[in-house]
Amino acid sequence: GESVGLHLPTLSVQEGDNSIINCAYSNSASDYFIWYKQESGKGPQFIIDIRSNMDKRQGQRVTVLLNKTVKHLSLQIAATQPGDSAVYFCAENIGDYKLSFGAGTTVTVRA
Amino acid sequence: DVKVTQSSRYLVKRTGEKVFLECVQDMDHENMFWYRQDPGLGLRLIYFSYDVKMKEKGDIPEGYSVSREKKERFSLILESASTNQTSMYLCASSLRQKAFFGQGTRLTVV
């Protein structure tokens, strides 16, 4: 079936560097995408979302890029901080307000 | 801010027990969801509900049921707990597509 997936299960980043987390999706009809951050022992926390009529959206220190041609989604975190260490999930709307999630990328920030 | 509250952070239950996981949201959201989260598998949808007394099966409903008697409350029921239901359970609510999650319940079935 169609699903959302992340390219890499882990990412190690030097503090202060920029992080890029990638996600590939296969449902070309998806019209909404969302990134979540999950810290250890907590539930997923909303970071940023984007609709399919946009290519880019910026938040505070984060940017989401959407490439519909190759069905690719990425989350960029500027000036990565220790507090950014977490598991990051992308999700796509698969209809009827349901979200389909990838397996997640664990980001570790090195001091 | 939206608040989704799950009644327990940690639970330990015995095989065969009937288990209730409770979830309450305070934003008058129509939609509520139950997911389970396992290492390497991400979040998998168990059941969801669009309105009071309405429920729909997700991807992995076997062994579970749900109840939504009030708009703010969505309960997940394990009819007869088994060890393969040991997992992290996450409740979410949404008005449209943007879902907000509770802190999770880590259930261990022994």
**8 Å CB contact of A44 and B41:** no
What pLDDT sits at residue A20?
Answer: 95
Question: Which token pair is B108?
Answer: 């261990």
Question: Which token pair is A14?
Answer: 């030097």
Look-up: residue for tokens 């019209």?
A31
Q: For each of chain B's 110 residues, which pLDDT tens digit applies?
A: 669 999 999 999 999 999 999 999 999 999 999 999 998 888 999 999 999 989 999 999 999 999 999 999 999 999 999 999 999 999 999 988 889 999 999 999 99
Residue type, B23: C
How far is residue B5's CA from residue A32's CA, in Å, rounded to a whole number? Answer: 26
Query: Considering Cα of B19, then B24, then B28, then B29, what sign does the dihedral take?
Result: negative
Q: In what order do the strands lie in the sheet with A56-58?
A: A4-6, A19-25, A72-77, A62-67, A56-58
Residue numbers in B near A49 (CB within 8 A) = 97-98
Q: Which residue has the higher pLDDT, A97 or A22?
A: A22
pLDDT band at A3 (very low <50, low <70, confident <90, very high): very low
**8 Å CB contact of B40 and A43:** no
Is residue B99 within 8 A of residue A101, CB to CB? The reply is no
Q: Which residue has the higher pLDDT, A94 or B86?
A: B86
**8 Å CB contact of A36 and B90:** no
B10-13 and B105-109 strand pairing: parallel
Look-up: residue for tokens 């409903």?
B61
**8 Å CB contact of A98 and B33:** yes
What pLDDT sits at residue B83?
Answer: 98
Residue of A51, A38, A6 whose CA lies nearest to A25: A6
Residue type, A99: L
Nearest to A46 among B44, B96, B100 (CB): B100
